[in-house]
Amino acid sequence: MRRTPPAPRPPPTPEDRAERRSRALEEVLDVRRVRGPPALLTLEVRNPRHRSHYTLYVPAYPDRTGAYCGCVDFARRDLGTCKHIEAAWLWLADHPDEKPSESEDPGTDLWAALDRRLRKLPKDLPASGRLRYPGEVLLG
């Protein structure tokens, strides 16, 4: 018996994103820039009340596309944002000195390393390995 694929999720509404922003303003979230992969603006968002912390990757700052958070809300709701990402954007607006400079661009070295690793991949590697193996260059 074949399973039917789940129905596609509707695109996020402005109200969905506004709710995440209001939660970021309501909760006490500590944001700081941390050392991360050279191509990505990397931030850590901590919630002292819940004793949780998440790492955020912002590859195209100041463009919001591609921002990633490791929280469950970001993964399950498919909104492209969460309260942690919204808190990070608010923090970046208040801390212009923490924004990445042009000199932090890794240039072609990072992409050359990715290309080398991709050429070495075994042909029969499962999809999870194909994603994880080159990802170690960016995040490892």
Q: Above 90 in pLDDT, residue 44?
A: yes
Average the pLDDT over 119-135 and give the result. 62
Residues 64 and 98 in one domain: yes
> Is 69 or 104 the better-scoring residue by pLDDT?
69
Task: Specify the DSSP element, H or E, that contains 108.
Answer: helix 108-119
Give the rounded percent of residues in the chain with a pLDDT score beyond 70. Answer: 69
Residue 18, domain extent: 14-105
Residues 110 and 53 in one domain: no
**Could you please report the per-residue DSSP string of 41-103?**
EEEEEEETTTTEEEEEEETTTTS-TT-EE-SHHHHHH--S--HHHHHHHHHHHH-GGGSPPGG
Number of domains in the chain: 2
**pLDDT the model gives residue 78:** 78
